[in-house]
Amino acid sequence: MNAKITATGAYLPEKIMTNFDLEKMVDTSDEWIKQRTGIEIRHIADKETTAELAAKAALDILKNSRLSASDIELIIIATVTPEHPLPATALFVQEKIGAYNAFGFDINAACSGFTYSLSVANAYIRSGMVKNALVIGAETLSKIVDWQDRSTCVIFGDGAAGVLLEAVDDDSVGVLDMVLHSDGRYTDLMIVPAPGSRYPCSEEVIKNRDIYIKMKGNETFKMAIRSIAGVSQEVLDRVGLNFGDVDWMVSHQANRRIIEGVAKRVGLDMNKVIITIDRHANTAAASIPLALDWAYKSGKIKEGDIVLLNSFGASLTWSAGVIRW
Q: Determine contact, residues 183/316, Cβ cutoff 8 Å.
A: yes
The identity of residue 72, as a single letter, is: I
Q: Which of 122, 220, 310, 319 binds ligand UT7 (CB under 6 A)?
A: 220
Closest CA to 296 of 4, 2, 3: 4
230 binds ligand UT7 (CB under 6 A): no
Pick the closer one to ligand UT7 by CB: 7 or 110: 110
Footprint on residues 124-153 left by ligand UT7 (CB under 6 A):
150-151
186 binds ligand UT7 (CB under 6 A): no
How many whole angstroms from its chain centre is CA 294?
Answer: 13
Pick the closer one to ligand UT7 by CB: 97 or 153: 153
Q: Which of 2, 19, 108, 282 is catalytic?
A: 282
109 binds ligand UT7 (CB under 6 A): no
Pick the closer one to ligand UT7 by CB: 133 or 254: 254
Q: In degrees, to the nearest 5, what angle opens at C-alpha 317 toward C-alphas 287 and 7?
A: 35
3-state secondary structure of 294: helix
Pick the closer one to ligand UT7 by CB: 2 or 276: 276
Phi/psi at 137 (nearest 5 deg)?
Answer: -100, 125
Cis ω for the linkage preceding 315 (within 30 of 0): yes
Distance CA 6, CA 130 (A): 15
180 binds ligand UT7 (CB under 6 A): no
Provide the minimum distance between the beta carbon of 281 and ligand UT7 in the complex, in angstroms, as a whole number. Answer: 10
Provide the minimum distance between the beta carbon of 239 and ligand UT7 in the complex, in angstroms, as a whole number. Answer: 25
Provide the minimum distance between the beta carbon of 315 and ligand UT7 in the complex, in angstroms, as a whole number. Answer: 8
Q: Which of 2, 108, 153, 252 is catalytic?
A: 252
Q: Provide the 10 A C-beta neighbour count for residue 144.
A: 16
Closest CA to 178 of 241, 118, 247: 118
Q: For the window 4-33, what string marks contact with ligand UT7 as x by the rule CB under 6 A? A: ------------------------x---x-
255 binds ligand UT7 (CB under 6 A): yes
Closest CA to 306 of 246, 251, 263: 246
Footprint on residues 280-309 left by ligand UT7 (CB under 6 A):
282
Distance CA 321, CA 325 (A): 12
Size of the site for ligand UT7 (CB under 6 A): 21
Q: Provide the 10 A C-beta neighbour count for residue 300.
A: 16
| Catalytic residue annotation | 111, 252, 282
The residues of the shown chain that bind ligand UT7, judged by CB under 6 A, are 28, 32, 36-37, 111, 150-151, 154-155, 190, 217-218, 220-221, 224, 254-255, 282, 312-314
